[in-house]
A and B are shown apart, each in its own frame.
Chain A
């Protein structure tokens, strides 16, 4: 079974400041890793993903994340945030299997609030 821990439930930052949203996971098998963003009253939008290859992945809106296998982490970063980045961010994993239809396991989410 997999589990995902997002260490911060809320992160307030000022506009143009850097931000890091932390995500750790546990799994007995290899996993794919994802970050999704949910803007107020909207659905889940894929921000970025790690399937294989380079451990530093870049996503939309200037976000990036780094997969660290030894620390089982997949932290999300942005060097300079905007007011429009205010949203809830979800880290998720799915186990890599031959079946190919594995479920996503989500963390509890981190609410990022960007203040002027």
Chain B
């Protein structure tokens, strides 16, 4: 069964450094998303992406964040200058039609 994959599973970085989180969505899916879950809190929407552009973004998704689909398979989330409060589990999701979203296993980002 096709799955969303994410790399790395755990990323440790210093405050102020740039990080890129990578996702490979399910191959025939057209809609892509990033969510995050700070430890002990609810899962929060960051951004949705369709037809090579951002469809919607949350207040969290400020100028420090960007997304890209550099080729036909990868979907990336970049944080330009990480802050302590960016420490969280980041989930990628994809969907065929925008209705049902399938999630990857997540990347745990730790900012020191």
Contact = CB atoms under 8 A, between A and B. Distances in A.
A77 interface: no
Looking at chain A's contact residues, is the secondary structure mostly helix, strand, loop, or mixed? loop
Contacts of B93: 104
Contacts of B68: none
A92 B102 CA distance: 13
A45 B3 CA distance: 11
Given A44-B43, A101-B56, A32 B99 contact: yes
Given A44-B103, A104-B101, A90 B43 contact: yes
Given A44-B91, A103-B48, A108-B42, A94 B103 contact: no
Which of under 10, 10 to 19, 20 to 34, or 35 or more describes the interface residues of B? 20 to 34
Given A43-B105, A101-B50, A103-B33, A49 B100 contact: yes
Interface residues of A, number: 24
Nearest to A96: B99
B98 interface: yes
Contacts of B25: none
A51 interface: yes
A103 B101 CA distance: 9
Interface string B45-69: 1001110000110100000000000
A101 B45 contact: no
Nearest to B106: A43
A102 to B, nearest CB: 7
Contact of B105 (A34, A36, A42): A42
A99 interface: yes
A92 B99 CA distance: 12
A90 B89 CA distance: 15
Interface string A14-54: 00000000000000000010101000001111100101000
7 contacts: A36-B103, A46-B100, A101-B31, A101-B49, A101-B50, A104-B45, A109-B42
